[in-house]
Structure 1
């Protein structure tokens, strides 16, 4: 029997991954809402209109739907339980998802069950002139990190070393956080929240002690209350900034560290009450102190990791999301892919802003893929656009292209990356260079 699955924000890249899943021949995938409709803009995101349009599109599907899924961060991740409730399809509760996505609520929950793996933290209002003093009174001294209560991709996240740093960050947060905070608050209006959480809405921010080390992401799922981890992906940053250079799978962390992260993930996910849903949790391992820190929880698969799992294990992690939504225990294979390791590389520009004057042509991309088998390239910019028009960027750089690679050694992977870059010419003009400079002049760090 053919099953019907509505996929919020479905694009060509993810359709290809879905159609390669185990059992996909018996599933019809329907894209709901164009991905461009789900990206925030300066006017804000109209949640009610998006929900109404998604409902209309789903009701127009002949025979109805057996599941509704998504792979994107907010607003899709928290729209799903509202839509699923209208159609009677499987979904975690909105409150359980918000226990992960509302960064302050999530920290409160984490501190209950794994206090030794959570930094000191406090919420603050960036419009409060006494905010810095209140942060200090909460026991958080310089340096510390600030970020919105709800954000993604390190957007509006800042390291604070001085009062001047905090003043500059607070100014940015006041000016730019409304784009996400307003629609997030509309989601919060649908949820039953503890009083301590309701007082800290999307307009607030989080300050927390600096944590760091080897960063990775634990991917897993909860099925009928049982937590399973099926992969750990390393996150490699450019030196001295928060910008990601690449994601590597599988992780190279010691097995004892990986096992401890699996245990921590299981403990905290059981506390959130998320069930029959995927998750990914970002951790740091401080090697010098042999201490693990939990950075954040995302109650969804990581779209960035889809091709990595396909290259190494044989299918995308979309397998997990689809199987769970259809009421099945996920059928995720292990090491059945064509490569020993895989990576997603972020080709970045470390400037405050610039105008794009040249991007690689399709013929150049095709030539790169022919020369470097297994490569996928997704250019993120177009000619004549300003880099500042790119959504969901971190505070220090712009990712102008995403590059997925497969290899059988780290040396081979980095050699492939250099070969790909040689065939992908970008050019920029009107460069504003008052952003922190990348100390390598843009060259990838050694791994």
Structure 2
């Protein structure tokens, strides 16, 4: 069989190794498009130039361009429909993708069919000095949450408890929102947008009613119009703060709640016209009020979950993306992995800022990975780094390392992580402490 050429935007060594372990991978050749450091290690996204360079590379390729894929959030996710359209490869439509990624348009679409499962919301211009008054006129009271119309990761998201919080958040937003709003607006210009959405471009923000509870993510795909949720991953936060402690798979939510989330998922995805592509949807279950809230839709698989599915189900959920871009019905196994439960842990510090003076050595990391089979430790900082310069961080903490682990039970998994974490030695200078935030969104 002739090998099929699959081009992956931002392909790095870590993902290439995983892709080459997928079912049928011997029949595929994976090629990188756009250097990984342009999408992983920067907050500068010249998206028009990136698209043109990607197109030039693909047109100069001496062979067939059978598929174009990606696993990253912005800018990769938003580039894919545009790039795929130029080469006639499979992708969901740009408009359906934007109904996931443009947070205001997404909420408008959600309100049409699952309005009881989303918070009250409004859009606002952070450069409008009357923005706070406008939010109040829309019926939102303290506390509420603000975030850009389009962001990446958890950057520039803030809980607002009082006017001073809003003032501080707006200052941060005004200083930084342009990093994504400019390139995102280029993408919006390529789409057929309703007037209500076109007037709310990437330079705008969302204010939303506070929602919370047990957070999880439904991983799924749509194939020829059929919605298939294939796994639910719990997202567990550090006690009384906004930052994630770990992702755990499989979910421990009650079966009835998981079923309802699957039902909501099967309602919203066809409504927005999403098809032949992977997605994940983040939900909350408020156990006290026994209500479910949809937080946001992401037009991709979660890279953070790849190892979890591999450990528990026997193969990375990257299988879903590869099958879909080749026009195949995805073939995901269930519970064929080495472990009963798996987690991705975030080793964090809650500083305003600091300078890293020591990180665990390669020998220390290797010893820990050997002691706990199946463990993978990925440092996110190095000696000499100022924490405030580290990309892709939330607004309240810094993740120093990601740790993926598997175990035969939840209790063993968490116990093993805590013992491992006690032996991860980082040191800092010039530490600036911050007051922790005691609620979550």
User: What is residue 35 of structure 2 aligned with on the other side?
Assistant: 34
* Distance in 1 of aligned mates of 2:161 and 2:192: 37
* Distance in 2 of aligned mates of 1:231 and 1:290: 22
User: What is residue 275 of structure 1 aligned with on the other side?
Assistant: 275
User: What is residue 153 of structure 2 aligned with on the other side?
Assistant: 153
CA displacement at 1:423 relative to structure 2:
3.5
Q: Which moved more, 1:269-278 or 1:150-159?
A: 150-159
CA displacement at 1:392 relative to structure 2:
1.7
CA displacement at 1:39 relative to structure 2:
4.1
Whether contact under 8 Å (1:365, 1:423) holds in the other structure is no
Q: Which moved more, 1:363-372 or 1:254-263?
A: 363-372
* Distance in 2 of aligned mates of 1:322 and 1:46: 26
Summarize deviations over 1:75-109 as a string: whole Å, max 9, x none. Answer: 00010011111111111111110000000000000
CA displacement at 1:415 relative to structure 2:
2.0
**Residues 1:25 and 2:26 are matched in the alignment:** yes
* Distance in 1 of aligned mates of 2:35 and 2:435: 35
* Distance in 2 of aligned mates of 1:32 and 1:360: 33
User: What is residue 125 of structure 1 aligned with on the other side?
Assistant: 125
* Distance in 2 of aligned mates of 1:382 and 1:57: 33
Q: Residue 74 of structure 1: SS of its match in structure 2?
A: coil
Pick closer, same or farther for the CA change 1:360–1:243 going to 2, 3 Å. Answer: same
* Distance in 2 of aligned mates of 1:264 and 1:40: 35
Whether contact under 8 Å (2:120, 2:208) holds in the other structure is yes
Whether contact under 8 Å (2:4, 2:64) holds in the other structure is no
* Distance in 2 of aligned mates of 1:63 and 1:436: 56
5 Å-filtered alignment, 1:4-403, equals 4-39=5-40, 41=42, 44-403=44-403
Q: Residue 202 of structure 2: SS of its match in structure 1?
A: coil
User: What is residue 442 of structure 1 aligned with on the other side?
Assistant: none
* Distance in 1 of aligned mates of 2:138 and 2:113: 21
CA displacement at 1:436 relative to structure 2:
2.6
Q: Residue 239 of structure 1: SS of its match in structure 2?
A: coil
CA displacement at 1:158 relative to structure 2:
0.6
* Distance in 1 of aligned mates of 2:309 and 2:278: 14
Whether contact under 8 Å (1:351, 1:437) holds in the other structure is no
CA displacement at 1:325 relative to structure 2:
0.3
Q: Residue 352 of structure 1: SS of its match in structure 2?
A: strand
Summarize deviations over 1:42-85 as a string: whole Å, max 9, x none. Answer: 6x321122112222332343312210000000000010011111
Q: Which moved more, 1:367-376 or 1:408-417?
A: 408-417
Whether contact under 8 Å (2:242, 2:437) holds in the other structure is no
Q: Which moved more, 1:75-84 or 1:31-40?
A: 31-40
CA displacement at 1:368 relative to structure 2:
1.0
TM-score normalized with structure 2 length: 0.97
* Distance in 1 of aligned mates of 2:376 and 2:69: 24
* Distance in 1 of aligned mates of 2:290 and 2:437: 29
Q: Residue 351 of structure 2: SS of its match in structure 1?
A: coil
Alpha carbon RMSD of aligned pairs, Å?
Answer: 1.3
Summarize deviations over 1:235-294 as a string: whole Å, max 9, x none. Answer: 000122211000000000000000000000110101110100000000000111110000
User: What is residue 443 of structure 1 aligned with on the other side?
Assistant: none
Unpaired runs of at least 5, structure 1? 440-447
* Distance in 1 of aligned mates of 2:344 and 2:267: 29
Whether contact under 8 Å (2:19, 2:25) holds in the other structure is yes
CA displacement at 1:16 relative to structure 2:
1.8
User: What is residue 436 of structure 1 aligned with on the other side?
Assistant: 435
CA displacement at 1:129 relative to structure 2:
0.9
* Distance in 2 of aligned mates of 1:336 and 1:111: 38
Q: Residue 114 of structure 1: SS of its match in structure 2?
A: helix
Q: Residue 282 of structure 1: SS of its match in structure 2?
A: strand
* Distance in 1 of aligned mates of 2:65 and 2:424: 41
Whether contact under 8 Å (2:304, 2:344) holds in the other structure is yes
* Distance in 1 of aligned mates of 2:281 and 2:195: 26
TM-score normalized with structure 1 length: 0.96
Pick closer, same or farther for the CA change 1:24–1:350 going to 2, 3 Å. Answer: same
* Distance in 2 of aligned mates of 1:218 and 1:139: 30
